Amino acid sequence: MCRIFAAALADGQVGPVLKVGLKRLEYGGYDSSGMATIDQGKLKIKKGVGKLDEVDRSVKFDELSGNIGIAHNRWATHGYPSVTNAHPQVDCTGKIAVVHNGVIENFLEIKEELAERGHEFMSRTDTEVIAHLIEDYIKKGMDFLNSTINAIKELKGSYALAILYSAEPDKVMLVKNESPLMLGIGDDGNYAASDPVAFVDHTNRVIQLEDGELAIITPKSYKVYRISDQGLVNHNIETVDINVNDVNKGGYRHYMLKEIMEQPVAISYALNLQIQYLDVVSELVRRSRITYLIGAGSSYHSCMAGSYMLSQISGLPTIPAVASEFIQQFGKTLNPDSTVILASQSGETADVLKVASYARLKASTIISITNVVSSTITRLSRAYIIQQAGPEIGVAATKTYTTQLLVYYQLAVKLAKKSGSITEMEINSYMKGLRELPRLADKVLKDVREPISKLATELKDAGHIFFLGRGINTATAYEGRLKMLEISYIPSSAFSAGESKHGPIALIENNSPVIFLAPDDASRKVMLGNIMEIRARGGKAIVFGNEVDSELKQASDEFIGMPQINEMLTPIIYILPLQLLAYNTAILKGYDPDKPRNLAKSVTVL
């Protein structure tokens, strides 16, 4: 977890630059934040617990002097959030400062050895050992570069590191292994960060570091080395296309609301998936003996919906699976004839990357669907499709969920075309649905505003909320439930409506709120029966259904009308009011929807 940022400026104070970048990276962790700079050969450090703005109010990051610095947002993995455990972590001499994203697996052994040699540790972090290890090599007479290389060779685990040493004050040392890290090459200085959004207003020229590489940036130069043999590496500089306005709130109170409201545009971007990529991916899937659709959290829900799309549109059976369970559940069935489609908006989720590494060992085909082209998952995949949703900063997945669904839909239509399993007329009708989608999404977001804010007022004090769907909208029920519980903290459950009578219905009592997703599809009739069952037991049926369905409306306690669209696209339209409902409920309860407690945007630990 965590995010890191480093800058070496040709001119001026680095504190304000680091603060802006760190703010953009806050989605990666906000347990604590900190910075270190070097000024006149001395290391200066400021850090504190809490969100960046809170820490900044007390420590005043802008006042950090010096033109070189490193910065960190923490999501705790080792050691409780505290000032001592906040990064940067330093060595015994106070000359070396380290910020780190990742986990050092063997830190306890290293710590013990170093302690025996007289090193004193202040924190409970795994990161602190890195500063002391480098110190140990420097004591043996090595320079900063060689000490870092030797120290790194002792580490096991994942790390993106930025390191300062006050005796070599014009350098930032950067190291990458299994955590994202890239350089930004600017005219006013050089940068490095977990995500280019940190430095995008200084430069869009980027070098992607590879695992096992170390880079040194100074205000005027950069060099990249292979750690194994210290050979210099010549990377191409790529241009990233990120608009600064994309990473600001665009006039909305929260990123989450901005990202919900952006969906009509994100959907139209995602409709422009590159045809060649869809072609390659569909061909690989077509040749495969078995295809698994794998993801975590919201991305798993998109896989659930994706499996309905693939079977109903293209007749292809696939198996959706939760990433953290996949290896135990299906690992032994992987072989060169199988394909795993890994859905991960960040492309950095550890559970998903682990499946990728495992599938690699089994020589299976790895395909990914992600929103971040420079992510680790694209490098592990034989082919990938980029969702094109633009950066998502709010912790809860919104536009990246709907655009993942769109990728699956387009893949299903492509496969159907290739296999000739459906008629030209059917294909045209599926394509027509796609073209209507941005306009319908826009209409829904406008039409449901009022009813959803009323509903949020009714639900904000609920002790428990049920979400029930059928068919492809079972996934919508799961996703609606996840949105509600993760940002409003109201305990919620989701089931396929057919399952409710097999147990969950026991929880229904007078006025228990039950949200039904009941579009005009093959299961509408049985849904009507399920609504009756719940109401007969005193439950309150809040139904999302076709706006012209008067029978359904009559059968509901509350009814929210939705436009008609082909069944396979309903999850994209029906999740929109549920995202808004979760957002409004969180606001009414006084919670910050952009930073739900205990969560981080991308979960890079197992």
The binding site for ligand F6R (CB under 6 A) comprises: 296-299, 344-346, 349, 352, 396-397, 482, 486, 602-603
Q: From the CB of 321, what's the least distance to ligand F6R, in Å?
A: 14
**Nearest to ligand F6R of 96, 343 (CB atom):** 343
Using DSSP bridges, classify how beta strands 540-546 and 513-518 pair: parallel, antiparallel or unpaired: parallel
Q: From the CB of 469, what's the least distance to ligand F6R, in Å?
A: 17
**Nearest to ligand F6R of 394, 539 (CB atom):** 394
**Nearest to ligand F6R of 531, 581 (CB atom):** 581
**Nearest to ligand F6R of 404, 566 (CB atom):** 404
Q: From the CB of 18, what's the least distance to ligand F6R, in Å?
A: 25
Active site residue ranges: 2, 601
Number of Cβ within a 10 Å radius of residue 360: 15
| Contact indicator for 425, 431 with CB cutoff of 8 Å | no
CA distance 68 to 73: 18
For 265-281, give one letter per residue: b (16+ CB within 10 A) or e.
ebbbbbbebeeebbebb
**Nearest to ligand F6R of 351, 567 (CB atom):** 351
Q: From the CB of 345, what's the least distance to ligand F6R, in Å?
A: 4
- Tell me the H-state helices in 200-274: 255-261, 263-270
Q: From the CB of 346, what's the least distance to ligand F6R, in Å?
A: 3
Q: From the CB of 377, what's the least distance to ligand F6R, in Å?
A: 8
CA distance 186 to 234: 17
Q: Which strands make up the sheet holding 89-90, listed edge to edge?
A: 89-90, 96-104, 157-165, 172-177, 213-217, 222-226
CA distance 181 to 597: 26
- Cα→Cα distances 134→128, 288, 369, Å: 10, 48, 39
**Nearest to ligand F6R of 286, 354 (CB atom):** 354
Tell me which residue has tokens 């929103």.
371
Structure tokens at 314: 């293209």
Q: C-alpha angle with apex 531: 525 to 534, nearest 5 degrees?
A: 150
